[in-house]
Amino acid sequence: MYLEEMFGLNGKVAIVTGGRRGIGQVVACGLAKAGAEVVIFSRTLSPETVKMITDEGGKAYDIAVDVTDEKGVDEAVAEVMKRSGHIDVVFNNAGICIHEDTLEASIEDWRQVIDVNLTGEYIVARAVGRAMIENKIHGSIINMGSMSGTIVNIPQWQASYNASKAGVIHMTKSLAIEWAEYGIRVNSLSPGYIGTPMSADTPQELKDAWMPLIPQHRMGKPEELLPAILYLACDAAGYTTGSDVIVDGGYVSF
């Protein structure tokens, strides 16, 4: 009971971007289990995630929106405010990764990765931050970083991804300071290698090359990110802002 009161999200409304699959889907289900009404933002609707939540007795709905579309995001946030009345938590998770040599990469690929991972998170954080400030909501924004914002992954080259995630981590600190006076907390979560559809596309020889570099010699599961997200989301973490929480099986310490 004590833990439920401390970490529970009863009565809260949580937006999860990129909640159609992967980490976002698992976290959406976890936030709903903790008591939140969950709203999924994804380029296409996410009926599967919504059904997973409602089948378990939780509350959820989905909105089709591209996080790089400023007007679309503003409208989606306005729709959540109208339908749910408030927004308390955002898991700003939608992201993409392109592996390619910098000497061969196109500027279009660089722009696409920066646009989704960094500008998209900025657009969502800003739209939600405005709604929280206007409505005097002391909310929690959790931006999806990555250990790639701190280290350079090997042996695959992904300069655009690494730069986008380093940008997310410092954008997070900037917004945390800027919005501290409004009682809005902004933190980032930085996972190591996690088994999801995004990483399933990765060739096996690359995964084999990663294993000796991970002290736990395995990829993480999306479920293993949930405790950190619940912590950052809950009111009990009221003094935690501007932090980057790394969940990586020890990779960046190695």
> What positions carry a catalytic annotation?
146, 161, 165
Q: Are 84 and 37 spatial neighbours (Cβ–Cβ below 8 Å)?
A: yes
List binders of ligand NDP among 162-201 (CB under 6 A). Answer: 191, 193-194, 196-199
138: CB partners within 8 A, 6+ apart: 132, 182, 183, 184, 185, 235
Q: Does 152 bind ligand NDP (CB under 6 A)?
A: no
For the CB of residue 39, give the shortest distance to ligand NDP in the complex, in Å: 13
Q: Does 95 bind ligand NDP (CB under 6 A)?
A: yes
Q: Whose Cβ is closer to ligand NDP: residue 18's or residue 30's?
A: 18
d(CA 123, CA 118): 9
Q: Does 120 bind ligand NDP (CB under 6 A)?
A: yes
Judged by DSSP in three states, 3 sits in helix
Exposed e or buried b per residue across 109-124, where buried means at least 16 C-beta atoms within 10 angstroms of its C-beta: ebeebbbbbbbbbbbb
Among 8, 14, 16, 24, binds ligand NDP (CB under 6 A): 24
The pair of structure tokens assigned to 221 is 């599961």
d(CA 135, CA 238): 18
Among 84, 93, 158, 241, binds ligand NDP (CB under 6 A): 93
Q: Does 96 bind ligand NDP (CB under 6 A)?
A: yes
The site for ligand NDP (CB under 6 A) is made up of 17-18, 20-24, 42-44, 66-68, 93-97, 116, 120, 144, 146, 191, 193-194, 196-199
